């Protein structure tokens, strides 16, 4: 039997950035199947629903047949078991990312001894890109074209144009 090596790239992706895209594109070369897992019930208040976030991930990665986009709720280790994964991949931008990732890796390993984490250093030019910066720039109508994949710019801007018009109506 041929072993299919599945890796999981989990995140909130609110929204997906070029940093996430770079990690996903590099991770797909390390496995046979990459499951990009969009967290449904984040403790964070998200700007986009889980369905919208997953759609944007799907659109940005649609040229890669080995990528499967799923939405997930609950523990990552349960998804890991269900998918028969061999590792979770996460991007590292900074020392603070490392601390968070090391804690998460250790906790998940306690929950599931077979759990492995693969940390990919992010591209230096994308080290300061984050979903919250994208949201902030978009909320002021700024140019997000260097931060997110071209194919999802319209969706992100659309969300904030609506919000700005609503805010303006309330302020007037």
| Least distance between ligand COA and beta carbon 14 (Å) | 6
149 close to 60: Cβ distance less than 8 angstroms = yes
**Binding segment for ligand COA among 11-19, 28-36, 56-64, 161-169 (CB under 6 A)?**
11-19
23 close to 16: Cβ distance less than 8 angstroms = no
19 near ligand COA, rule: CB under 6 A? yes
| Least distance between ligand COA and beta carbon 168 (Å) | 25
The residue behind tokens 């976030």 is: 53
Distance CA 121, CA 77 (A): 23
Q: Does an H or E element contain 67, and which?
A: strand 67-72
| Residue 49 bears catalytic tag | no
Distance CA 89, CA 106 (A): 14
Strand-strand pairing, 33-39 and 67-72: parallel
| Least distance between ligand COA and beta carbon 91 (Å) | 3
Q: Residue 6 or 108: which CB sits closer to ligand COA?
A: 108
Point out which residues pair with 33 in neighbouring strands.
6
| Residue 93 bears catalytic tag | yes
**Binding segment for ligand COA among 56-64, 122-130, 137-145, 164-172 (CB under 6 A)?**
122-130
Q: Residue 45 or 171: which CB sits closer to ligand COA?
A: 45
Stretch 46-65 residues interacting with ligand COA (CB under 6 A): none
Of the candidates 90, 61, 89, 65, the one whose C-alpha atom is nearest the C-alpha of residue 149 is 61
| Residue 44 bears catalytic tag | yes
| Residue 109 bears catalytic tag | no
Distance CA 37, CA 82 (A): 12
Residues belonging to the active site: 20, 44, 93, 131
User: Where do contacts with ligand COA occur on this chain (CB under 6 A)?
Assistant: 10-14, 17, 19-20, 23, 39, 75-76, 91, 93, 104, 107-108, 122, 126, 129-132
């Amino acid at each position: 039997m041929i072993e299919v090596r599945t890796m999981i790239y989990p995140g909130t992706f609110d929204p997906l950035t070029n940093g996430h895209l770079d990690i996903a594109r590099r991770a797909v070369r390390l496995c046979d199947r990459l499951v990009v897992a969009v967290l449904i019930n984040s403790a964070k208040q998200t700007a986009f629903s889980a369905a919208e976030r997953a759609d944007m991930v799907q659109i940005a990665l649609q040229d890669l047949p080995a990528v499967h986009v799923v939405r997930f709720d609950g523990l990552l280790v349960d998804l890991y078991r269900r998918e028969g994964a061999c590792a979770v991949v996460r991007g590292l931008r900074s020392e603070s990312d490392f601390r968070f990732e090391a804690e998460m890796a250790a906790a998940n390993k306690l929950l599931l001894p077979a759990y492995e984490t693969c940390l990919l250093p992010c591209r230096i030019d994308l080290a300061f890109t984050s979903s919250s910066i994208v949201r902030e720039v978009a909320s002021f109508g700024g140019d997000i074209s260097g931060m997110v994949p071209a194919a999802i710019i319209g969706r992100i801007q659309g969300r904030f144009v609506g919000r700005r018009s609503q805010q303006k109506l309330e302020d007037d």
